Amino acid sequence: MESVSFRAPSFSKEKETIVRDEVSAFSATAGLGEKPEEVLVDTTTKAVYTVVKPAFVMGYKWLVDVGGAKFSVSLEDKVFWQKLVSHEVRLGPYDALVVEVAYRAVKDFQGNLKVTNTITKVLDVRYDLGRQGSLFDEGAN
């Protein structure tokens, strides 16, 4: 389609036409340049995440916990994925991952904050890290 034409309300006899080259001028980011986002933080750091809900499909996000705050992370460590697939590593409740994580915070053109956490490398798995004893555990008096 090269153009779209329409007639304004019935009292107008003139037809309005929008051609293909003008369409991008009506987008939400028109006039903002090529990079409508402002990067506030873009860094890599080490962290310890308790696994709340793993996703055993590459590309799906994992739900993790840090001090009671739960959030989603992407896991992109292919070596660790291979260990999961081959059952060399197993995860259960309260297990934690010591990781290198890429943290990125961006303010979009509307002023909204977007934060992404991407695990780039799993350094260690700590088993049963967050489990606390129960009154009913064996050996409790």
For residues 86, 92, 96, 99, the Cα torsion angle rounded to the nearest 10 degrees is: 20
Does the pLDDT value for residue 1 go beyond 60?
A: yes
Sequential DSSP letters for the chain = --EEEEE-STT--PEEEEEGGGGGGGSTTTTS-S---EEEEEEEEEEEEEEEE---STTSPEEEEETTEEEEEEE--HHHHHHHHTTSS---TT-EEEEEEEEEEEE-TTS-EEEEEEEEEEEEEETT-S----TTSTT--
Residue at 129: amino acid letter: L
Per-residue pLDDT tens digits for 103-122: 999 999 888 999 999 999 99
Per-residue pLDDT tens digits for 12-53: 667 777 776 666 666 655 555 556 789 999 999 999 999 999
Per-residue pLDDT tens digits for 47-86: 999 999 998 888 899 999 998 999 999 999 999 999 998 9
CA–CA dist 131, 95 (Å, integer): 9
CA–CA dist 43, 60 (Å, integer): 22
Q: Is the distance from CB of 128 to CB of 95 less than 8 angstroms? A: yes
Average pLDDT in the chain:
81
pLDDT at 140: 42
Q: Which residue has the higher pLDDT, 43 or 138?
A: 43
For the chain, which domains are there? 38-126 (2.40.50)
CA–CA dist 89, 125 (Å, integer): 8
How is residue 15 written in tokens? 């037809």
pLDDT at 105: 96
